[in-house]
Structure formats: structure tokens, C-alpha cells
Amino acid sequence: MKPDKSENSHINDNDLSNGLKNHMFWIFGYGSLIWKTNFPFVKKYPGYIKGYTRRFYQFSPDHRGTHDLPGRVVTLLPSTNESRVWGIAYAIDNRDIDNVCAGLDLRERAGYTKKVIQFHTKTNEDQIPSEVTVYIADENNEWFAGEASIQQIASRIAVCRGTSGSNPEYVHKLAAEMRRIAPEEDDKHLFELEMALKSIENSY
């Protein structure tokens, strides 16, 4: 696999091998971090974590909604040991760890905390991480929205917008990314929500 050349990575080819050997931190994105990193990284790999399910059970009072009308975004819920959540693991160079973590702590400030979880991937390379750091909003945080029907979640998302854009855009981008990086996976909750949201949008 060739070095990542996206605008998010400032590491040049000469620094790549050293960065991969010396970095100490991997971030796993399963929501908007998949397509909107806004931080420098050395390398990225698609993969998954086990024991969790992805659900739109977290309110967003800033990025995809407001304090008065918070949108809904994804968090992870504990599940069976074989449940899989696909996303992207990013390698952060030593020189950038403090700044990246500070930026992500601010970005995920509405209820998310960091956990270290085992990482799995189908990619066959030497530098695959064994563990990744994941931002998870559990049910005890103040912005936890909780369970609701797909239609109820879609109806809320359809009318919400925040500083990062519309809530429907978040759903559509996440669904598109899941089909791209894990086309064989059937993320039922996400895809049913996408269909319900499209139905609402088509009725306007």
C-alpha cells in the first residue's frame, strides 16, 4: 500500500518509515472521523473492533445540532464478542500526539471519553496496530439520547444542523463510507436509518 497522500498528512516519504516505527498512538474513527480527520497522520488502515455496535444514540449539541435542538450522531454500545464495528485506524506521529489529542478532546467534548480497544483488519502489512484509542459516549454522559425507533431518529436528524453541517449529511456520508471500506458488511441500523431519512427528504 502506498503512503497516504491526503491533505491530512504532512509526513513526507523520507519520514514515513521512521514515523511508522516511532509513533505510539492510534486513533480509531467510526463516525465523522472516517471522512473528516482535520489532523495530521502517518498512515491509515480500514478495520474493525469487536464487542460493540454502532448506534445513533448520542445527541450532538454542537457539530450536527444545537443546544436547543441537538442532532443525533453515533456512539458505541457494548454487544456480543463477535459484533463488529468497521472504521479507520490512524497512526499519529510522536510529534503530533499532544496536539492531535487536544484537538480531538475538544471535538468530542459533548460526552465522549477515550477507551483502548483491540483492533482487527484484513490488511496484511507489518505496521498494523494491535490496539486503538476510541472515543465512546456511554449512557452515563449528559448528552446520551438513548434508544428510539428508526423513524423517530430519522425525524429528529432531518431537521437538525450544527457547526459542522447538516445532520442528514452526517448519515449519508457515514453510510457511503461503510459501503466503501466494508462492502460486505450489513450495518442494519445505519442503512435502515439512511432509508428512512431518504423517505423523509423525498416527501419535502
Q: In the annotation, is 108 catalytic? A: yes
Higher pLDDT: 171 or 7? It is 171
Q: Round to whole Å and give the CA distance between 204 and 200.
A: 7
Q: Which of 7, 108, 169, 192 is catalytic?
A: 108
Q: Which helix (H) or strand (E) is 158 found in, with range?
A: helix 150-158
Percentage of residues in the chain having pLDDT higher than 70: 88
The tens digit of pLDDT for each residue in 21-57 reads: 444 689 999 999 999 998 999 999 999 999 999 999 9
The tens digit of pLDDT for each residue in 56-75 reads: 999 999 999 999 999 999 99
pLDDT at 17 over 70: no
Crossing angle for the helix pair 150-158 and 167-181, nearest 10 degrees?
120
pTM summary value: 0.85
Measured distance between the N- and C-terminal CA atoms of the chain, rounded to whole angstroms: 44
Q: Round to whole Å and give the CA distance between 204 and 202.
A: 6
